[in-house]
A and B are shown apart, each in its own frame.
Chain A
Amino acid sequence: MKLQIPNHLKKIRTIKYTPEDLISFENEVKKHYENGEIKSPIHLSKGNEDQVIKIFSYIAEDDWVFSSWRNHYHALLHGIDKQTLLSDIISGRSMSTNSINPRFYSSSIVGGIIPIATGVAQAIKRKQKKNKVWCFIGDMTYETGIFHESYKFSRNFELPLEFVVEDNNLSTNTPTKESWGMDKIDIPKDIIYYQYERDYPHHGTGNWVLF
């Protein structure tokens, strides 16, 4: 299935990274991890480069971006400096990448970012600012109650909050649709959505590492 982009979104940013750049960054992280230099879990991305590059062309530099444990691509594309990010990852902060400039917050708790993103969007609306909030979640997170509460709240109050569902049909290694007893996932038209196949394991690199 192709990338679903809601009609109200407009491209506003030119992305400096190519798919090869993103893959190369994760390869660098992989090298440090397999050298035993990163003593915390890492969750690498691969297989969704084209989609995320296109999505970030709709995101302004002063927007907030919220992500999860698998956040390296989102962090790079939103403008976190490559060396700063790599340094944070090597120091064990891969699962909680954060930044004030650019505005970026990630959490390792399923659904944990969604209420906070909703609150930031509430603040932006009350202050009548022009920037927006973007919340990247997976297919299992999309099915949680906290997503549906927050989605309803944000839409009813017309908050400047965009959701992106990145569907690899896996939560760790649990097939989302099987665990919910579903054949398909129903996504509203005002949400960005795409499917992809995860090329790395849930965490780590697939190779045994002796720390």
Chain B
Amino acid sequence: MKYLESLIYSMEWLGKKNDTIFLGQSVKYSGNAIFNTLKTIPNEKKLETPVIEDLQMGLSIGLALEGFVPITCYPRFDFLILACNQLINHLDKIRHMSKDRMTPRVIIRTSIGSKTPLDGGVQHTQDYTEVFKSMCSEINVVMLDNSKDIFPMFKEAYEREDSKSTLLIEHGDYYNDK
């Protein structure tokens, strides 16, 4: 499977689980590349949000505390920075703070913005992978470089026994080529 096909396959697999919910801007309506991976997911599994990045991450944590597995979508890495309070100060610390009594599992999708055929510029194309790896002590940070790794990584994010959260980073430029 190619890169985009692997993402669609992974989302369809996650979409069949009773406890998953997909949220973010453009999960239900077109507007970014991630939408193209969610077209076949039923709308009742989706929560289209306003532009509320930090609130969206908090919503995801809260949903997870009540038993959902949120797949929370941030179309570009540049936008995920706006969710860092909830991501770093809460989701990444909640196990420590609660002595492992609270173990929310959140699957976070983001993408390094594409540079071809259009270059989105410095506010839409950054790769902050190493920075996030250094900031996260509990969240697993995964770069999706190869198509063959995509489904196993999402499957692991959903099934891992320690229920830790996973940040999966996609390449926008691979959606059309790889």
The reply to whether the CB of B60 lies closer than 8 angstroms to some CB of chain A is: yes
Residues of A within 8 A of B58 (CB): 112, 114-119, 150
Residues of A within 8 A of B55 (CB): 115, 118, 146, 149-150, 153
- Docked CA distance A112–B62 (Å): 12
Establish whether residues B97 and A119, one from each chain, have CB atoms under 8 Å apart when the complex forms. Answer: no
Chain B binding site: helix, strand, loop or mixed by DSSP?
helix
The reply to whether the CB of A1 lies closer than 8 angstroms to some CB of chain B is: no
Number of chain B residues whose Cβ lies closer than 8 Å to a Cβ of chain A: 28
Residues of A within 8 A of B64 (CB): 119
The reply to whether the CB of B173 lies closer than 8 angstroms to some CB of chain A is: no
Residues of B within 8 A of A99 (CB): 101
- Docked CA distance A146–B86 (Å): 11
Which residue of chain A has its CB nearest to the CB of B101?
A100
Which residue of chain B has its CB nearest to the CB of A109?
B89
Establish whether residues B62 and A122, one from each chain, have CB atoms under 8 Å apart when the complex forms. Answer: yes
Establish whether residues B89 and A117, one from each chain, have CB atoms under 8 Å apart when the complex forms. Answer: no
Which residue of chain A has its CB nearest to the CB of B70?
A119
Query: Which of B58, B60, B90 gathers most chain A CB within 10 Å?
Result: B58
Establish whether residues B85 and A105, one from each chain, have CB atoms under 8 Å apart when the complex forms. Answer: no
Q: Which residues of A contact B (CB under 8 A)?
A: 93, 96, 98-100, 105, 107, 109, 112, 114-124, 126-127, 146, 149-150, 153
Q: Which residues of B contact A (CB under 8 A)?
A: 21, 47, 50, 52, 54-68, 85-86, 89-90, 97-99, 101-102
